[in-house]
Structure 1
Amino acid sequence: MTDVWTDVVGQESAVDVLRGAAASDHAMTHAWLITGPPGSGRTNAAQAFAAALQCRGEDAAADAQAVRSVLAGTHPDVTVVATDKVVIAIDDVRDLIGVAQRAPSQGRWRVIIIEDADRMVERTSNVLLKAIEEPPPRTVWVLCAPSPQDVVVTIRSRCRKVALRVPPVDAVADLLARRDGIDREVALTAAHAAQSHIGLARRLARDAGARDRRSRVLRVAGGIRSVQDAVLAAGELLELAQAESASSTDERNAAEKAELLRGLGVDDGQTVPPNLRAQVRQLEEDQKRRARRAERDGLDRMMVDLLSLYRDVLVLQLGSDVDPVNGGAAELVASLAEETTAEQTLRRMDAIGEARTRLEGNVAPLLAVEAMAIALRPQG
C-alpha cells in the first residue's frame, strides 16, 4: 500500500490502529472519532486515513493517484466538512446525510470527514446520529475534535476513538523541513514557539508578519505596570487580533461576494435588485460571524503565547532544566522572573486561563482581555 502516513508525525500508536483498519475490512468500523489537542494533526490523520481507505493494494500507480486526489481534496468519494464559523450549520449536516447514502463511485469506501465536530450543537448532532447509527455498508464517518467530551455522548458512544498526542518538537521541525523546505533551525525555533502545533509552526516559519505579531504580544505583557498600562495593553491585543482576522478574511470575503454577484447576474458597480438583496445580506452575515470567530481564535492564540511566556518565567524561577518555549525572549523572561515570585507567576497564568474560559463563554472580548491584563500587572 502507498505510504500515506509520512505527514502524521509523532503519532505511532494511532497510525498503527488506523493503518490496520484500512488494510482489513474485518478491523473496520463505520464511525471514528479522532481526538487530540490543537495542532496535533487531527486533520492530517483523518485525511491520511481516508487516503489509505481508497488504496486497493493491487495497482501501485492507481493507489498513488487515489492518494494524491484525496490529499488534494478532489477525490469524488471523500467529503471534508470544515467551518470557520462559530458552529457547523445544521443544513450542512443534512446535506452530508444525503451524500452518505451514495455508494462509492471510484474508491473502496465513501468517507465523510467532519473537522471540528465539537462545533456541532446538540440539535445538529441529533440530526447526524441516525446516519451514524445506520450507515450504508461502504460509508465511513470520521469526526475530529479536541477531546471525546467535546462531542455529545450519543455520538461518541457510537464511534471508535483514536487519541492523538502533542507531537515532539523535533518531529514537527523535521516535517516542516522535509515537506515545506524550511531551514531546519528556523523550523525548530517555530516548532518551539508554536508548542508543537503543526499549523502554527508552519505559519511562524513562513510568515515574518506572524512572527512579529507574536513578539509584540509578548512585549505587551512585559510592559504592563499599572491599571492604565493594562487597559492600553488590552486595546492593543484586541487590535492585533482584529488586524490578523482582517488579513485572513478580507480578500476571501471580497472574492465570495464577487462570485455571488456574478452568479446572480449582477455586474460590477451595478445596484443589486431588491429581490436579490436577501442573498447578499445572508452572505455578509455569514462573513461577520466568521470574522468574529477568527478574532476570538486569534485572541485565544495570543493567550496561549502569553501562557508560554509565563511558563518560561516559572521554569527559570524554579530552576528547572527544561528547554524554553521562547528562546528569543530570554531577556524579557529573565526580567519578569527577577521582579516576581513563582506564586505571582502562577496567579498570572490562572488569570490567562480564566480569560480563555470567558472568551469561550462568549464574554465580550475587550472585557475578558482587560480583566486579564489588569491581573498581569505587578502586585504589591
Structure 2
Amino acid sequence: MSVWTELVGQEPVVETLQAALADPAHLTHAWLFTGPPGSGRSNAARAFAAALQCENGGCGECHSCTTARSGSHPDIAVIRTDGLTIGIDTAREYVRKAALRPALGRWQVLIVEDADRLTDQAANALLKAIEEPASHTVWMLCAPAVEDVMITVRSRCRPVLLRTPPTDAIAGLLVSRDGIEPELAHAAAAASQGHIGRARGLARDPEARERRRAILAIPLGIRSLGDCLAAAQAINEEATARAAAIADVADERETSDLRASWGVEERGRRPAGYAGEASRLERDQKRRRTRLARDGIDGVLLDLLAFCRDVVAVQCASGAPLVNADVASDVETAARMWTPESTLRRIDAIVECREALDANAAAQLALERMMIGFLP
C-alpha cells in the first residue's frame, strides 16, 4: 500500500505531487496545503514528505516510508499545537532545525499542521526560512484556506487545494482500511460530511454514534425557553467535560516533565526561572482546554446544521439525498412542523453562533441565543 492510498478523492492533488517528485523543475521548497476540515491536508503533507524521502516515490513499504508513517523519521518534523496559537519560540526552534542537513533522508521536511494558528511574530520568524530556504529543506504548511495564512508567507508557497472527499470514497476507505461493514461505513461517511477522521470515529465508536443521535434529537425537543437553556447547558457541559478528559492527561504529563527537567521536588525549592516557565505552561494548558471545548461545540453545531439542511432538502428539493439518512423520520417530522422560512431562521441562528464563538464570545450565552432561534 503506497503512501498515497489514504488520500481518498484527491486524485488531482496526488498527480500534482507525483509530478513534482518526477521532475525537479516542479519541486518548490515551500508548499501550502488548503482544504476544508477532514479533507486530509496534513495527511497529504505527510504522504508527500514520505515520498520525498523514498527512493521509489512513496512505495509505502521501505524504511523511509514506514518511519515517516509512524512519525519517527528523523528528517520529518511536524509542528502542531494543542493550544490556540503557535508562538514565536516554537517557530524559531524549527527554523533552526530547517538549517540542518538531513540525518538520514534526502530532505529536511518541516510540516506546519495548523499554519492558520501562527501568530504574526511566529509567521514572520518563518518568513525568511521559507523565502530563502536551505537547498535541502522543504516546508509544508497546512491551513483551511489560503487567506488564513499571512500574505507574505503564502505568496512564497505553492498552493495545493484539497476538496471535500466524496461519501463513496470515504466509505470505501473505511471498508478496505478499517474492516467496517459497508452499510455502516456508508452511513458514517455521509454523516461525517466529508471529514475522514470523524467518519472513522463514528464507524468505530458506538458511543459517538449515540452522542450524534442525541444531538440530532435536540431540534424537535425545543418547546420552551427552559428547553433552550437546558439544551445549551447540556451541549456546553458535554464539550467541557470531554475537553477536560483529554486535557487532564496531557496537563499531568507536561507538568511532570517540566518539574523533572528543572529538578523540582514536591516540596523543595524552586530554581530561578521555574515559576515563569510553570506560569507559561499553565497559560498554554488553559488555552488548550478552551480550544478543545470550542472544537467540541463546533462539532455539535455542524451536526445541527446538517440536520437543518436535510429539513430544507425535504421541504424544497424532494428526492435529494440526506446527510442524516439514519434519522430520516425525524427530518421528515421537522419538515412537516416547520416552514421553509423557519428552517432558514434556525440555520441562521447556528451560523451566528459559530461566528460568535470565533469572536471569542462566552460559549454558554452564544448557545442559549442560538437555541432561542429554534423555538417554534
TM-score (norm 1): 0.93
Deviation at 1:146, TM superposition (A): 0.6
C-alpha contact (below 8 Å) 2:3/2:59 kept by paired residues? no
Higher mean C-alpha deviation, range 368-377 or range 320-329:
320-329
Q: Is residue 2:324 matched to residue 1:317?
A: no
Quick one: which of 148, 157, 175 aligns to 1:177? 175
Deviation at 1:59, TM superposition (A): 12
Letter in 2 for 1:320: S
Quick one: which of 122, 125, 128 aligns to 1:124? 122
Deviation at 1:318, TM superposition (A): 1.2
Deviation at 1:221, TM superposition (A): 2.5
Letter in 1 for 2:190: H
Q: Which residue of 2 is the match for residue 134 of structure 1?
A: 132
Which structure 2 residues correspond to residues 249-260 of structure 1 after superposition, within 5 A? 249-260=247-258
CA–CA distance in structure 2, aligned partners of residues 227 and 377 of structure 1: 8
Count of residues in Structure 1 that have an aligned counterpart in Structure 2: 374
After superposition, what is the alpha-carbon deviation per residue over 1:8-53, rounded to whole angstroms, capped at 9, x for unaligned? 1100111100111122222100100010000000111000000110
CA–CA distance in structure 1, aligned partners of residues 248 and 57 of structure 2: 46
Higher mean C-alpha deviation, range 192-201 or range 208-217:
208-217
C-alpha contact (below 8 Å) 1:56/1:108 kept by paired residues? no
C-alpha contact (below 8 Å) 2:36/2:144 kept by paired residues? yes
Letter in 2 for 1:273: R
After superposition, what is the alpha-carbon deviation per residue over 1:43-73, rounded to whole angstroms, capped at 9, x for unaligned? 1100000011011239979x71101111111
CA–CA distance in structure 2, aligned partners of residues 59 and 188 of structure 1: 29
Letter in 2 for 1:122: D
Counterpart secondary structure, 1:376: coil
CA–CA distance in structure 1, aligned partners of residues 105 and 318 of structure 2: 52
Q: Is residue 2:207 matched to residue 1:219?
A: no
C-alpha contact (below 8 Å) 2:247/2:289 kept by paired residues? yes
Q: Which residue of 2 is the match for residue 3 of structure 1?
A: 2
C-alpha contact (below 8 Å) 2:51/2:59 kept by paired residues? no
After superposition, what is the alpha-carbon deviation per residue over 1:258-300, rounded to whole angstroms, capped at 9, x for unaligned? 3333444456xx3353444544443333221101000011111
CA–CA distance in structure 1, aligned partners of residues 345 and 187 of structure 2: 28
Q: Is residue 2:272 matched to residue 1:273?
A: no
TM-score (norm 2): 0.94
Q: Which residue of 2 is the match for residue 341 of structure 1?
A: 339
Which structure 2 residues correspond to residues 1-380 of structure 1 after superposition, within 5 A? 3-57=2-56, 64-266=62-264, 270-271=266-267, 273-275=269-271, 276-378=274-376
Are the structure 2 counterparts of residues 71 and 290 from structure 1 closer, same or farther at C-alpha, using a change threshold of 3 Å?
A: same
Are the structure 2 counterparts of residues 60 and 329 from structure 1 closer, same or farther at C-alpha, using a change threshold of 3 Å?
A: closer
Counterpart secondary structure, 2:234: helix
CA–CA distance in structure 2, aligned partners of residues 24 and 203 of structure 1: 38
C-alpha contact (below 8 Å) 2:2/2:59 kept by paired residues? no
C-alpha contact (below 8 Å) 2:243/2:289 kept by paired residues? yes
Q: Unaligned stretches of 5+ in structure 1? A: none
CA–CA distance in structure 2, aligned partners of residues 56 and 28 of structure 1: 15
Deviation at 1:160, TM superposition (A): 0.5
C-alpha contact (below 8 Å) 2:51/2:58 kept by paired residues? no
Counterpart secondary structure, 2:74: coil
Q: Unaligned stretches of 5+ in structure 2? A: none
After superposition, what is the alpha-carbon deviation per residue over 1:116-141, rounded to whole angstroms, capped at 9, x for unaligned? 10111222211111111100011110
Higher mean C-alpha deviation, range 248-257 or range 234-243:
248-257
Give the share of equivalent positions with the same residue, in percent: 47
Deviation at 1:218, TM superposition (A): 1.6
CA–CA distance in structure 2, aligned partners of residues 12 and 333 of structure 1: 34
